Structure 1
Amino acid sequence: MNGRRVVIITGCSSGFGYLTAKLLADHGYRVYAGVRKTKDLNVFKETESRDNPKTFLLDVTWTQKRINRIVQSIENKEEQIDVLINNAGFGFLGTVGSFSDKEIREQFETNVFGLFKVTKAVLPGIERWRKGLIINVSSSAGLFTSAYYGVYSASKFAVEALTTALRAEESLYGIHVVSVNPGSFETKFWDNEKFPKAVGDLDDSPASRLARRIKDLIKQHAKRRGNPLVFTKKVKEIIETRNPRKNYLIGWDAVFLYWISRFFPQAILDWLVKRVVKRLA
């Protein structure tokens, strides 16, 4: 090995993935930054001369065998992988009834099965070395859900469950597994969010009015989103912590949603959400 800690990050074309890869590379980590499209292979143009971060094609919806080969090629070159950051994901927002079966599967294919496949590819190596860290990027939506966020939240609740189980299982090998729950930050997540095709057929039904109002609110609150560098610095801090916590809330809104979901009775939360939904619709 070259002595530097080796990090694999998925979803590095922009946003959290891009910024985290750049920050870690600037601080001496050997970073392998996965991007989904060929056009993004030169996303780190300013660091091409030192070849760090090293970009590589990785679509987490590819087959397990294909992802295994990619991870194995990195292991062959670096001898071991120290950190995996499962960052790839997107938001599919809409009322549950407006989704097609195909659209829900698309959400889970990236946010859940993609995370699972990359993790499964990395596990044999880090279990063999009996050390390592896996960071799963969840969301504040993995702590609390509401109308319009049901499908996206379901995918992130699944991430939380997988993370909790992995944390216990991989402790047998000395491996740490943590989840990070960012709130609303200024990244391309909001540009890349998707809506069910049925939402395009807007009528004057309550569900359609709700969809229009929530889309407007998302745009109106753009200026209140946090600086994404707060997230990247926290991830670096987690990597450099000897015994990281099981979970990290990043952003005031993530902290707020965590506390209300923990201490408010579900009946009160349901009542509040229904009131808001009726007012918006």
Structure 2
Amino acid sequence: MSDPSPAILLVDDDVDSCRNVSDILADLGYRVDVAHDGRSALDLARGRAYDVAVLDFKMPGMDGVTLYRHLRARQPGTVALLVTAYASEDTARAARSAGTWRVLRKPVDIPNLLGLIDQAVGQPLVLVVDDDRDLCENLWDLLRARNIRVGLAHDPQEATRRLAESRYHAVLIDMILPGGDGGTVFRAVRSVDPQARTVLITGCRPESDPMITQALAEGADAVCYKPLDPANLLDVLDRLVGPSPAGPR
């Protein structure tokens, strides 16, 4: 498992501003990477998973909303804060559509920014392992609305990579997966992080029931059946990882 200190990505073409915020965050114990344009930020994201990304909206080459769309595709568990001197309803609407968590006006209120980063880092991190990409996107929206960070994987191999990148509070595991099965993923979770809670998901009961019985005997925490009941799933997660902090709106 990588260094457990939260990792923050700062992206702004204002070099002095980045240096100032980076120094403060480093003093507070965060691992901080800095980029001054979108392409450099994406290069950094190839080598490290970030808990929070603080993105300037207006930058040469790629704006912050477009950058977050690319980051989210690679690292869906990263919480994005967008900072802008060009705040408008259109900017806010585009940011919400991309999935950013908050939009802050420049000049940034540093204590407020630090508080939001602390809140974002404190949100539970859940990994969803399912080859149904539409379901994954729906779960991302559902859980982000509850201030739960969401990682996504679509097969056992990708799940293994995600587990190596970050420490998850809970893992939702579809039992029927391409290139393997949910039982394999469950045992990988138990091996990498025995403290992570596990929720088994299935829509194919005759095929998956033996795997579910075995996983429950080995310590899986819960089972949810497809089609998923959102309220029931949220109740299960609240029970397993606790309700997430609401934070400011």
TM-score band, normalised by shorter chain: 0.3 to 0.5
> TM-score, normalising length from structure 2?
0.41
Structure having the larger proportion of residues in helix: 1
> TM-score, normalising length from structure 1?
0.37
Greater RCO (Cα-Cα under 8 Å, separation 6 or more): 1
Structure having the larger proportion of residues in strand: 2
